[in-house]
Each structure stands twice: as C-alpha cells, then as structure tokens.
A and B are shown apart, each in its own frame.
Chain A
Amino acid sequence: MPAREITFGQALNEAHIAEMERDPKVIVFGENVSSQWREATRGLKEKFGRERVRDAPITETAFIGAGVGAAIAGYRPVVELMLVDFGLVAMDQILNQFAKTTYMTGGAVSVPMTLRVLNGAGTSSGATHSESLHGLFAHMPGLKVVIPSNPYDAKGLLISSIRDPNPKIFMEHRLLYPIKGQVPKEPYEVPLGVANLVREGKDVTVVATSLMVQEAMGAADELKGKVSVEVLDPRTLVPLDEEAIINSIKKTGRLVVVDEDYLHFGFSGEVVAIAAEKALKSLESPPIRVATPNVPLPFNARLERELLPNKEKIIGAIRQAAA
C-alpha cells in the first residue's frame, strides 16, 4: 500500500471515515464531535449527517450508557469522551454496564462499542485534566485497552477496534496528535494483541506505551554505540502480547518498562510480574520501572516535568539495567 505522511489526528480521522463508509451501523457521538477543533472527528457530521454524528450534552454517564445500549441493540458506536479524567464521572457505565455485560449475560449480547479518550499529561492542565489511566481500565475484566503510539498504528488500531465485537477503550495521548508518520491511504487493520517491535537491540528491552514509545526511541538513539536497546510497544494492554515481551527479555536479559500511568499497581508492574513469572531465569539484572509516581499531577510545569517519565530518566534506567 502506498503511504504518505499525515498526523496522528488525521490518521484517526481517516479511520472514522473509512469505517463509517464501510458500515452504516457505525455511529459517532460524544462531547464536541462536530467541532472543527476536534481533529479526529472533523468533518464527519458534514459527510455522514446529523443522525449518525451527534454532539452530546456534558453528561458522561448518559451518553456512554447510551453507547452501550446502542451497541447491544446492534450498532457500532464510537463514543468520544474528551479527557479520560471525565470518564471517572461515569464509572458505573464504563466498568459495569460496558465492560461486564457480555460475560454477565453468558454471551447472550455483545457490546461492540469503542470509547475514545484523550490521555496524558504535559500541558500544565492540573490533576483532573492530565491523567493516563490505562492501567485502571486494563485492571477491570471485560475491556480491551488500545493505546497507539504513532499515526500508522492509530489508524489501523482504530479500524480494528471498531470492527472488533467487544468493548474497547481507545486511548490517545494528546501530545501525539501533531506527530507525523507514514500512513497508507486505504483502510487497513493493525490487529489487537500484537506488539510492535519498534527497534531491535540486544542489550536491554524497553517496553513502552503511547507517548513514551517516542521518548524511549529518543533514549535509544542517544545511547547508540553504547547500549543496544530494543524497544517494544505492546499497542494494546488488553489483550497483551506476553509472548513478544518474554521473547525480548529472553534475548536481552534486561528489562526497563516505561509508562506514563502511575507507578503503583499498574501496567509497569504487570510487565515486571510477567518477567518474574515467565522469564526469571533470563533476567541478568533487576527490572526497572520508569513511571509517574503516585502523585496527582500538579499545575506547575516544572513540578509536572519532575514527575513524568522522559528521555533522560529512561536513559538513566537503561544505563542502570545494562551496568
């Protein structure tokens, strides 16, 4: 497929258009989805009409629940929540009604809805507009958690998510939106549950998610010639490509996990647990986690930077792991 350079936001927009053209059951609603300010859904209302593309009032509980119901009733809603932090207003609808209904009904119904959220810090927005909560959603059974790190994956993973018959939460770091990459014009799928080996290396495995894949690549570039760094992007936390993680650890013997979510009880701990359970004998040094300490994110930009993982912290961790 011939590709051309577009942004992460444009890639998401193309995925919406492709799936809405392909499947009339795909509908889009949420906060501000008809706004020209929202790149991922820009132009959808004009193209597909106000029946299929709807602005919702600021009522997360109501419109997420309505998405669940429409999905049970045979539609494929793509529901947009603006910031993941606002999902906390609607936790019953997300964690009970959305995530558990398929299981609770013994498979009698499916809930093929995709909940799109913005994730992530770095904009001095304070504690209720900055969080990365993928670990929270991955912790609860029944939700697939999709977390792209680049434009190509954004398009392919969103298409796969919309086609998948299960509940999905699709988490987009807002600082990825302007990032450019090669993306085919045609629709294509990136399968859920298959990690991306972003960079091959032999000394240290770095497992990173979302924006942190970009930071890890920066770290690997800077260490070129000193430490050979392998960067692995799981792309989906649920399902998780454990095999890819284990294989990489077996190859390098050293593990660094980089995640913008909080350190405690999260994705970074999960990867280290997998390493301990399934690749312990391959480990030549203790795994290292680079994640956000369990501190609500402050408004002040210097304090915020102090807490977030970044290239320098990743370089330090890789050096320590390789020592």
Chain B
Amino acid sequence: MSLNDAKTTDIYRVMVRIRTFENAVRRLTKEGKIPARFGLYTGQEAVAAGVSSHLRKGDQIGSTHRALGHLIAKGCNLDKLMAELMGKQTGFNHGKAGPYHTFDPSIGAIGANGVVGGSVPVTAGYALADQLEGKRKIAVSYFGEGGSNQGGVQETLNLAACWNLPIVFVCENSSPEVQRMLGHEIDYPQLSIDNVSQRAKNYAMPGYTVTGWDVEAVYKAAGRAVHRARAGNGPTLLEFKVHQLEGNLEGRLETSEKERQWDPINQLKPKIPRKVDEHIRAEEAANVQKAVDFGLKSPEPTLDQAYTCVFEEAD
C-alpha cells in the first residue's frame, strides 16, 4: 500500500487543518474565549491523518484528552467542534463536554476522554459491536505511552486478542528521547521499556514501532493493521513515536528550531507543489475562521440545560 500523490495531498490537507484549528484554539484560549486549558495535538498530525485515511465513516475511534487531531481527522464538523470548545449550545454536546469529552457519533468519533486510558476498554466494545454486526467495520483506539501502562489498557489488549476483535490500538509515544509528564522531565521513567509495541507479543498480536512524523511510514503501517482488522484477523498494536510541539498548554509553549525537524508538516511540505500548498492553507484558514466565527456568535446553553441529559427520557 504505497502513498500516491492524490492521497498524500489529502493527508497533508488534514494535517494542515488540524494545525490551523489548534493554532486558533491556542489563540482563543489566551484570549479567554475558550474557558479551559487542555492538551493539544501539535506535532502529532501525521498519525491521526495517516490512520484516518484508511477509515470509513462507519468505523469508530476512541480518543484521549488530546483529542482534537483524532476528531478532526475522522471528519468532525469544525464549526460544532469549535463551538463545543467554547462551551456553546451549538457544539456537538451542547457545551457539556468541552475538550475532554467531545463525542460525534454521526461519524464514529466516540470520543475524547478525560481519564488517561479510559477510552481503551470502551473502544474494544465498539469493535465487539463491529464483529457482531459483521459489516467489516473496525475500531481504532488511541492512547499515549502514559496511558499504555494503565491496567485497563493492558487488560483490553488481552481481551481484544482473546476475542479476535477488529481493532487497531494506536499508541502515540511522545517520549522518544526523554520521559516527560506535563511538560517536565521526570526522574523515574514512565515506561520500563523503550518501545510500547514490545507489549504486543505478550498478547500474541503483531506490534510495530513507527516514526510518527513520517507520513508515508504511518500510512503504510496503519494500512496493514486496518486491513488485518477488517479482514477479521484480529488486533494490532501500533506505536508511533511522536514529538509534541507546543503540545501542552500547561507546560512549555515555545518550540525550538531543533524540534522543527520532528514537525510532520515541515517534513511533508517539500512533496507538495507550492501552489497546492498555498491553496490548501488558504482554504483551511478560511474553514477554521468560519468555525471560529460560528462558535463566537453561537448562544450559550440556557441554564435549565444544566439539569438535562442525566437520564434519557424513555420513549
């Protein structure tokens, strides 16, 4: 499965869309228009864009507290996403979710998650439903290297292997050189191993470690794993090494020149004709500006909505 020019351009567009959207989020957060700080995906765009390029609308993803890239790559409507981040009535979840719990079931983006590792068992449930339905749908479970250690994540790897579930586990390991947590280097490592993919053999599933800022490598690895799941041959654990650029609003905000070598958009840019690049950037800037305008002019939820949706009304 090699990457042709058209597909490369599509993936590049998604990466630019994520970057542009998050730059707007960063600015709006500083301006107080988005009321909370949260983890961003900047620097990891190749993973979500490359993985999602193999997914269909009916496939499901489960994500993390750093979800914007995953959600956008899966095809989330930018207007409703931005409105949700602003806590507005017109957001996907009417301002109740915010960045940590955004769900868009209409395209299988279900969804962001506020608890580290929390979405992984749930995503296995999507895969179970896919298996039972027999329509060759699959699920993708995103988590980080920190989340990979959680008991629930390790239990889910085992369960998925035991039940041969149509799922791809995508671990984005943001500690290729140093072990970091919330933007500071820590004294003891998060992981006892270098590569999370090593865990795969404990559960008798294939595991691969891939450079996460190399779009072609992401595309190929994801293609193999998605194909395997869709064919009913079971789960794969993919690990992508990534480098968070300006990634965490609670931590450092500056990106050094050295770090730019890990920027997947910079890496891919030489392969995109200049005119095409300019066109994509202009279009995505306009899309994001439209989303910002939509969010800003959208109404707040009414106060009575604070009490709704605790339980669903019976039909």
Chain A interface residues toward B at CB < 8 A: 31-32, 34-37, 45, 50, 54-59, 61-62, 85-86, 88-89, 123-129, 293-296, 298-304, 306-307
Contacts and interface: CB of A to CB of B under 8 A. Distances in A.
Contacts of B253: none
B232 interface: no
Contact of B149 (A59, A128, A129): A59
Q: Which of B115, B117, B189, B310 has the most CB of A within 10 A?
A: B115
Interface string B113-144: 11111100000000000000000000000000
A85 B101 CA distance: 14
Contact of B305 (A124, A301, A303): A303
A124 B149 contact: no
A128 B184 contact: no
A306 B303 contact: yes
Interface of B: 35-36, 87-88, 95-101, 113-118, 146-147, 149-152, 181-184, 186-191, 250, 300-301, 303, 305-307, 310
A50 B188 contact: yes
Chain B facing A: main interface SS:
loop
B149 A296 contact: no
Pick from A85, A124, A302, A303 the residue with the most CB of B within 10 Å: A303
B87 A129 contact: no
Given A57-B189, A125-B98, 11 more contacts: A35-B186, A37-B250, A57-B191, A123-B36, A126-B100, A129-B100, A129-B114, A299-B100, A300-B95, A302-B303, A306-B303
A295 B149 CA distance: 31
A126 B98 contact: yes
Contacts of A35: 181-182, 184, 186
A24 B96 CA distance: 46
Contacts of A124: 35-36, 87, 98
Contacts of A304: 306
Given A293-B307, A307-B306, A299 B87 contact: yes
A124 to B, nearest CB: 4
Contacts of B118: 89, 128
Given A58-B117, A299-B36, A301-B87, A31 B100 contact: no
Contacts of B95: 298-300, 303
A34 B182 contact: no
23 contacts: A32-B184, A55-B186, A55-B187, A58-B147, A59-B149, A85-B114, A86-B116, A89-B117, A125-B114, A126-B97, A126-B99, A126-B100, A127-B101, A127-B114, A299-B87, A299-B98, A300-B300, A300-B301, A302-B87, A303-B87, A303-B95, A303-B301, A304-B306
A265 B307 CA distance: 18
A86 B150 CA distance: 12
B208 to A, nearest CB: 23
